[in-house]
Amino acid sequence: MVLSALFYKHTIRHGIHPPDNKEDTCGQPIRRFPFAPELVVPLSQHIGAPAIARVKAGQEVIRGEVIAHADGFMSVPIHAPATGVVKAIDLMPTARGPRAPAILIKVYPGDTQEVAHSQQLDLEHLDAGQLIQATQDCGMAGLGGAAFPSHVKFKVPSQHTIHTLVVNGSECEPYLTTDHRVMLEQPERLLSGIRLVRKAVGAERVIIGIEDNKLDAVRVIRARLRPDDPIEVTVIEAKYPQGAEKMLVKSLLGIEIPSAGLPSEVGLMISNTGTLAALGELLPIGQGLIERVVTITGSGVKKPGNYLIPLGTPLRFVLQQLGIKTRRERVILGGPMMGAAVASLDVPITKGTSGVLVFAKDALGQVPHVVMPCIRCGRCLAACPVMLNPSELGLLAGKRQYNIMATRYHLNDCIECGCCSYVCPANIPLVQYFRIAKTINREQALQVA
Amino acid sequence: MDSNRKIEINTSPHIHDNPSVASIMRNVVYALLPVCAYAVYLFGISALALLLVVTGSCLLTEMLYDRLLHRSGSLGDFSTVITGLLLALTLPPGFPLWMGAVAGFIAIALGKALFGGLGCNVFNPALVGRAFVQAAFPVAITTWTPVRATGRFLEFIPSSLAWPFLRPVDTTSWSQQLGIDGFTGATPLALQKFQHIASSNSDLFLGLTAGSAGETSALLILLCGAWLALRKMMDWRISAGVFAGALLVSVPLHYGLDPQVYPGPGFVLLSGGMMLGALFMATDVVGSPLTPRGVWLYGLLIGALTVIIRQFSALNEGIMYAILIANAVAPLIADVTQPRIYGAHKKRRRPAP
């Protein structure tokens, strides 16, 4: 046991080590952002059914008030991020491209940061079901980037039991430091969120995985653990894409989540530190999610840092406040490996926005546009954390053999981390092909059904 | 902040790792240059002319191919230069230059362009070229000249300048008139196979034996290959597999059967084209199976086949056909060695407490 502990390294096989570029922001404390004159609050900031607006144009809303309620279980409510007047409910640009309905709020000038609506909950006496209901009521969706409704995740399928809550503090995307700052500045909130969720999912123990480029956060959290907490902090090697659920579980515990299966099948629940810290803050006071910590950085930003930004703040306002160095740039929501480049600066900060990266035209090391033929060098195989064969998949995608990709080469196990495209010396847009192939396969399956 | 500011859109990932196809290929060329320089030192201007003519012929053929396809730029990826240099290094230093030009043309035209260019070729193009001239010009390709001949930087080996389609000048008398003791016009492999005369390992190591232009100094090739492997521009597993495969077959033969007939491990690895083949030709990624277990299997197959061909066929060198055969089965190897993906077996193990 001792020997195996000596040789067992907490990391994943394969993966990549892109330059992490976190030094600009990881030392910067979280700062509060001013209100934009007008907020764009999309009704769909989470995966699942969009919320249903319960306000009308011209109606006054108070910061913290529910302005849209959840449409069933696979949905979360939305709270007003600021006090003001509803200007309209209209189609507005989104990060994904197509326009979607959003509530436009004209913020009263000089609005305070006070949150009016809050009802204290007696958390000591809530059972698991009530805790999950409280999670839905506060509108929580995964703050790590996927924005999956947290209460849906915490509702464990009845045939499974959870023994371990895995807390994801790896933050493996380059540039992003929100989880890092939250762990450093809000360890008590994080731990109270962990204790609540552990109760909600019925886990015996908790394991927090933090990459070795955030050892200060490890010390801060370890120092605040109570002797009776069944919580341990494990340091893992900094590597991308270790923050992916499947990879994190492998690094921390050495077990694999079955292909096409849920973590609960192997008794695990995984949640991100940002989400848990927000729950630790919001659940006790019964408040809704109205703001979040966002890393804003990149070569094009004059004042990079971590900011607590009201949801619905348009990117245009964010960039105006922080100053932009270049005229022509690329703006990315999320990290550089999986984030989406936005086509319009009217896109707002939403629950899933972990970062905003702004780059001058040539500052990104420029993804080359000339695509060469595959020379079968095998770098993609050595990078793929799921052990797929991206080279073969890429060749098949070129021939539009999307079915064979899925049936023989495990296309659906691809986590779309982008390691294959990152390493490809021929610049073949591999992960981009795979996303298209998956979409086409899904559409065809729907047509058949 | 003006409202008509332009922003670029693009799908993720938005960052990219450095090496490109061209930079990988360029590094392979750099790694081959010392080997070429040593060949010129050993064999003089004939070797130099051969390198230039063969590489030039490859580049011209590639240009012609580009012209036919109305495209441009495939010369910039350096893969054609590699093919040219490798092909020239596998030929005897006194190989008639016009035959070298034919070999270069065949390598690119039949070995590469016909399959669709870079990345599509099934066989290593340099070896396709060599296999062609081996069949077409069997005498010229087995005519060897001594190393470090006097005056090698001033005069050509007579056969080099032979006119196309005419019988090349006989170099045997030329070699003898140089007055080098004991030069028999045979390579160490031929001496070993047909006369059971073993060459010394140190001579093989430093390349002081007759042979093809670049198939001489094992040490130099090993160093150049190691440099490439350290820079992660070459798959060391294939080379290691080739050596392991060769030892796996030759060691039992040498120690188990007859040490006279079957050479020892040192000779097997250091002689002939083993080094150049294992480090620079087998590792040509285009023809390899590219799965993690597949590359080992591929290497082992090449190594084992090389020794088998050397010992049990009419030829005394086998690495060329070994690689070509392995190229042919590489897709099958890839097919049966697909990696086990994450979460494939439904493990339901609980973590250790």
Which residues from B are below 8 Å from A16, CB to CB? Answer: 17
Residues A278 and A130 in one domain: yes
Residues B131 and B235 in one domain: no
Q: Are B317 and B190 in contact (CB under 8 A)?
A: no
Domain range for residue B103? 20-173
Look at strands A38-42 and A268-272 and give their pairing. unpaired
pLDDT digits (tens, 9 = 90+) for B312-323: 887 778 899 999
Consecutive H or E run containing A333: strand A329-333
**For chain B, where are the alpha helices, taking DSSP H only?**
21-43, 45-69, 79-90, 97-109, 125-136, 172-177, 188-190, 201-206, 218-230, 236-251, 265-270, 274-276, 292-312, 319-336
Residue A16 inside a domain? The answer is yes
Decide which of B111, B138, B173 is a domain's last residue: B173
* CA-based nearest distance B337→chain A, Å: 11
A338 contacts B9? CB cut-off 8 A: no
Phi, psi of A87 (to 5 degrees): -85, -45
Decide which of A263, A285, A307 is a domain's last residue: A285
Nearest CA in chain A to B121: A375
- Would you mind telling me the total number of residues written for chain A in this entry? 449
Nearest CA in chain A to B116: A373
pLDDT, residue A209, reads 93
Residue A220 inside a domain? The answer is yes
Two structure tokens written together for A102:
């959003």
Residue A249 CA: distances (Å) to CA of A178, A239, B194: 21, 14, 61
* CA-based nearest distance A430→chain B, Å: 10
A385 contacts B343? CB cut-off 8 A: no
Tokens 């799921």 sit on residue: A386
A372 contacts B17? CB cut-off 8 A: no
Residues A259 and A339 in one domain: no
Residues A239 and A137 in one domain: yes
Residue A292 inside a domain? The answer is yes
Partners of A85 in the β-ladder: A60, A106
Q: State how far the Cα of A56 lies from the Cα of A79, in Å rounded to an integer.
A: 14
* CA-based nearest distance B126→chain A, Å: 16
Q: State how far the Cα of A37 lies from the Cα of A56, in Å rounded to an integer.
A: 19
Decide which of B115, B148, B173 is a domain's last residue: B173
Residues A388 and A352 in one domain: no
Which residues from B are below 8 Å from A413, CB to CB? Answer: 341-343
Provide the CATH number for the domain around residue A254. 3.40.50.11540
Residues B187 and B156 in one domain: no
Number of DSSP helices (H) and strands (E) in chain A, helices first: 14, 17
Q: State how far the Cα of A72 lies from the Cα of B232, in Å rounded to an integer.
A: 53
B286 contacts A375? CB cut-off 8 A: yes
Residues B312 and B206 in one domain: yes
Residues B238 and B112 in one domain: no
Residue B7 inside a domain? The answer is no
Of B15, B288, B348, the CB nearest to A336: B15
Q: State how far the Cα of B347 lies from the Cα of B217, in Å rounded to an integer.
A: 52
Residue B106 inside a domain? The answer is yes
Decide which of A229, A251, A285 is a domain's last residue: A285
Residues B226 and B123 in one domain: no
Question: What's the CA dihedral at B6, B12, B16, B22 to 10 degrees?
Answer: -90
| Rg, Å, chain B Cα set | 23
Of B5, B12, B20, the CB nearest to A338: B12
Residues A39 and A19 in one domain: no
Q: State how far the Cα of B149 lies from the Cα of B157, in Å rounded to an integer.
A: 10
Which residues from B are below 8 Å from A343, CB to CB? Answer: 7, 9
Residue A214 inside a domain? The answer is yes
Low-confidence spans in chain B with pLDDT less than 70: 1-7, 73, 165-186, 195, 207, 345-353
Tokens 């240009």 sit on residue: B63
Look at strands A291-297 and A305-310 and give their pairing. antiparallel
B235 contacts A342? CB cut-off 8 A: no
Residue A370 inside a domain? The answer is no
pLDDT, residue A365, reads 54
Nearest CA in chain B to A339: B12
A257 contacts B343? CB cut-off 8 A: yes
Number of structural domains in chain A? 3
Low-confidence spans in chain A with pLDDT less than 50: 1-5
B342 contacts A425? CB cut-off 8 A: no
Which residues from A are below 8 Å from B119, CB to CB? Answer: 372-376, 426
Q: State how far the Cα of B351 lies from the Cα of A231, in Å rounded to an integer.
A: 15
Q: State how far the Cα of A222 lies from the Cα of A232, in Å rounded to an integer.
A: 8
Q: Are A140 and A275 in contact (CB under 8 A)?
A: yes
Consecutive H or E run containing B253: none
Contact partners, residue B274, CB within 8 Å, separation at least 6: B218, B242, B246, B268, B306, B319
- Single out the residue of A132, A113, A133 nearest to residue A290, CA to CA: A113
Which residues from A are below 8 Å from B344, CB to CB? Answer: 259, 410
Residue B12 inside a domain? The answer is no
Residue of B298, B332, B342, B350 to mutate, interface with A, max A Cβ within 10 Å: B342
Residue of B17, B71, B336 to mutate, interface with A, max A Cβ within 10 Å: B17
Residue B350 inside a domain? The answer is no
Residues A125 and A260 in one domain: yes
Phi, psi of A448 (to 5 degrees): -65, -40
Residue of A161, A256, A321, A435 to mutate, interface with B, max B Cβ within 10 Å: A256
* CA-based nearest distance B44→chain A, Å: 35
Hey, what amino acid is at A266? V
Number of structural domains in chain B? 2
Which residues from B are below 8 Å from A374, CB to CB? Answer: 119
Residue B230 inside a domain? The answer is yes
Decide which of A219, A252, A285 is a domain's last residue: A285
pLDDT digits (tens, 9 = 90+) for B145-158: 777 777 777 777 77
Residues B99 and B218 in one domain: no
* CA-based nearest distance B327→chain A, Å: 13
Residue B347 inside a domain? The answer is no
Phi, psi of A179 (to 5 degrees): -65, -40
Secondary structure class of A311 (helix, strand, coil): coil
Residues B91 and B195 in one domain: no
Say how many CB pairs under 8 Å bridge A and B: 185
Residues B92 and B189 in one domain: no
A341 contacts B12? CB cut-off 8 A: yes
Domain range for residue A432? 379-448
Residues A161 and A19 in one domain: yes
What sign has the CA pseudo-torsion A328, A332, A335, A340? Answer: negative
Residues A395 and A417 in one domain: yes
Residue of B124, B290, B348 to mutate, interface with A, max A Cβ within 10 Å: B290
Residues A345 and A388 in one domain: no
Two structure tokens written together for B153:
């930087």
Tokens 């969009």 sit on residue: A50
pLDDT, residue B131, reads 93
Nearest CA in chain A to B232: A379
Residues B206 and B162 in one domain: no
pLDDT digits (tens, 9 = 90+) for B218-252: 888 999 999 999 988 888 999 999 999 999 998 88
B12 contacts A375? CB cut-off 8 A: no
pTM: 0.87
Decide which of B146, B173, B200 is a domain's last residue: B173
Residue B5 inside a domain? The answer is no
B5 contacts A341? CB cut-off 8 A: no
pLDDT, residue A345, reads 85
Residues B101 and B203 in one domain: no
Nearest CA in chain B to A324: B1
A256 contacts B14? CB cut-off 8 A: no
Which residues from B are below 8 Å from A36, CB to CB? Answer: none
Residue B233 inside a domain? The answer is yes
Which residues from B are below 8 Å from A21, CB to CB? Answer: none
Residue A126 CA: distances (Å) to CA of A120, A229, A366, B83: 12, 19, 52, 73
Partners of A167 in the β-ladder: A208, A271
* CA-based nearest distance B135→chain A, Å: 29
Residues A128 and A258 in one domain: yes
Residues A55 and A169 in one domain: no
Residues A47 and A90 in one domain: yes
Residue A366 inside a domain? The answer is no
Look at strands A355-360 and A291-297 and give their pairing. parallel
Which residues from B are below 8 Å from A253, CB to CB? Answer: 351
Q: Are B250 and B270 in contact (CB under 8 A)?
A: no
Residues B258 and B310 in one domain: yes
A267 contacts B346? CB cut-off 8 A: no
Residue A369 inside a domain? The answer is no
A368 contacts B118? CB cut-off 8 A: no
B10 contacts A330? CB cut-off 8 A: yes
Residues B132 and B267 in one domain: no
A259 contacts B344? CB cut-off 8 A: yes
Residue A114 inside a domain? The answer is no
Contact partners, residue A347, CB within 8 Å, separation at least 6: A93, A94, A95, A314, A315, A333
